A and B are shown apart, each in its own frame.
Chain A
């Protein structure tokens, strides 16, 4: 049985019917991870710990105490702290770091015990590679080497959750967690032919998620279908008192609309999306978008239209400005968040220094990579006395305009459709010399983080070089279940999400 081509809902059925055990599934993926090291998708794997968890899952299953996800393996982005596995955020400054606790996401998905009674029972396969502290769009900023794209190893896997994307695309995990501060779930999902969702800000707890930009960071699943993502997001999301922006109304079944028609009570199976208005922002289809990406996304719109949806043009006039706004706010928050790395309580400490100040400085200088340093410098600058109003406050004010622009668009439509990125996965090294060129690649994903809206990526085609293209669906606040419904209906009508990279056996 090729379990890496199997949806997790089918895996759950096989587990419940005792056709396979969690230990067998876990060993199957551990073997694939061992054989698939060339992608550099994982930073830490510990077979002993994984099998300890799978044996607990098997006991729960035989005791009749299994939930929907019990026994299914999952890979965690290395930004989530985990007990047992190293937690490094792909930084040298956290090399070898062992967390004394699990992130809420890890606990919510993990094996239940006395201190974690609501764990979903999933088995951790290990920690996936990423851009250092989630800063990057190509995974080339990892201190532990870039991740290769399973569709073509000469190309990047995307970032920052590139390890999670490559792991699922190469069949080294059935599903993985990611985080998205400016597109880090959606863009690598698009680059690797996966489905991934970033929920509304506040839906998933940030506790134990190593912070990059706290007002933008959100976690979500990356998998092979909208249905799989709905299952895992439902288990990830919860109200958490340890995150001050966690929302009280976070726990819900995000899969509840999947197989329903858009309009309640409608039974027209040929037109399941009748009544749905899809907005195409004209700024998302303007100059700079690769023609084959534009073509695939436009065709996805037509498919959705054939399922009953109505397409309308909308406008998000500040789309281009989302880049400067983001690259002021995210570094500002990062410079503050990363001040905790001082070589005192955890993390790297320089071996030689003159005094305490010198120890901070040398530890940080040796521990952080080039992009992280660059963003700390930008952030420090924009928060300086004399620049704060012109940069930081101005960016926060434009952020309000960007959020309001979305509300104006959502008067005309229920869901927004556009590309995830201007182009497909680029070649390794192609953009890494020029940071600004890399930042411009984030143009279609940043604004939803600034506004805190849910958005997802789903495969919708390939370019002429057989590299995957993703479409982006953006919804209004707290409409994740509706986004997943639209994507699921699309995936019932198409098979892009079922395609496998030819280099993956």
Chain B
């Protein structure tokens, strides 16, 4: 991993890192990934990945419900924490000119 990688993943993560911040975080990430490298020595051929623990015990079907309205209207309450809104819509900077 190098500084370009750090800036690339920072961009993918929608985070800004100054040059100094990227330089500070690089050795930390390198140390973490040298720890992570220990995984490569394990023979996992033929094993299924385990996405969550219940799948180790049983198959868990995606719970489904009938496609019916079950919630009442909480629009006003749900909008209360919006940083910017107008007439019940979230406001964001113009996307299409």
The stretch among A122-130, A277-285, A397-405 that forms the contact with chain B is: A397-405
B29-49 vs A, Cβ < 8 Å mask (1 yes, 0 no)? 101100111111010100111
How close is A2's CB to chain B, nearest CB, in angstroms? 40
Give the one of B6, B31, B54, B94 with max A CB within 10 A: B54
Q: Which residues of A contact B47 (CB under 8 A)?
A: 397, 400-401
A346 to B83, CA, bound (A): 6
How close is B81's CB to chain A, nearest CB, in angstroms? 4
> Given A245-B60, A435-B32, does the pair A398, B44 have CB atoms closer than 8 Å?
yes
B1-22 vs A, Cβ < 8 Å mask (1 yes, 0 no)? 1000110011011111000000
In-complex Cβ contact of A393 among B25, B32, B49 (8 A): B49
Contact A247 B54 (CB under 8 A): yes
Contact A353 B93 (CB under 8 A): yes
Q: Which residues of B contact A374 (CB under 8 A)?
A: 25, 28-29
A328-344 vs B, Cβ < 8 Å mask (1 yes, 0 no)? 10000001000100111
A349 to B83, CA, bound (A): 6
> Given A244-B63, A344-B92, does the pair A394, B83 have CB atoms closer than 8 Å?
no
Any chain B CB within 8 A of the CB of A201?
yes
A204 to B50, CA, bound (A): 20
Chain A residue at minimum C-beta to C-beta distance from B60: A245
> Given A244-B63, A373-B15, A376-B13, does the pair A215, B51 have CB atoms closer than 8 Å?
yes
B63-97 vs A, Cβ < 8 Å mask (1 yes, 0 no)? 10100000000100110111110000010111100
Contact A355 B54 (CB under 8 A): no
Q: Which residues of B contact A155 (CB under 8 A)?
A: none
Q: How many residues of B contact A (CB 8 A)?
A: 50
How close is A421's CB to chain B, nearest CB, in angstroms? 18
Any chain B CB within 8 A of the CB of A359?
yes
Q: Does more than half of chain B's interface fall in helix, strand or loop, or is it mixed?
A: loop
Contact A436 B35 (CB under 8 A): yes
Chain A residue at minimum C-beta to C-beta distance from B31: A436
How close is A375's CB to chain B, nearest CB, in angstroms? 10
The stretch among A261-269, A288-296, A361-369, A422-430 that forms the contact with chain B is: A361-369
Any chain B CB within 8 A of the CB of A28?
no
Contact B77 A439 (CB under 8 A): no
A201 to B1, CA, bound (A): 34
Q: Which residues of B contact A368 (CB under 8 A)?
A: 15
Chain A residue at minimum C-beta to C-beta distance from B85: A345
Any chain B CB within 8 A of the CB of A381?
yes
Any chain B CB within 8 A of the CB of A300?
no
Q: Which residues of A contact B95 (CB under 8 A)?
A: 355-356
A400 to B55, CA, bound (A): 10
Contact B9 A401 (CB under 8 A): no
Residue pairs across A and B with Cβ atoms less than 8 A apart, 6 shown, are: A244-B63, A318-B42, A327-B35, A335-B13, A377-B13, A381-B1
Q: Which residues of B contact A (CB under 8 A)?
A: 1, 5-6, 9-10, 12-16, 25, 28-29, 31-32, 35-40, 42, 44, 47-54, 56-57, 60, 62-63, 65, 74, 77-78, 80-84, 90, 92-95
| Besides A202-B53, A400-B47, 6 other A-B contacts (C-beta < 8 A) | A98-B80, A361-B16, A377-B9, A394-B40, A397-B50, A436-B31
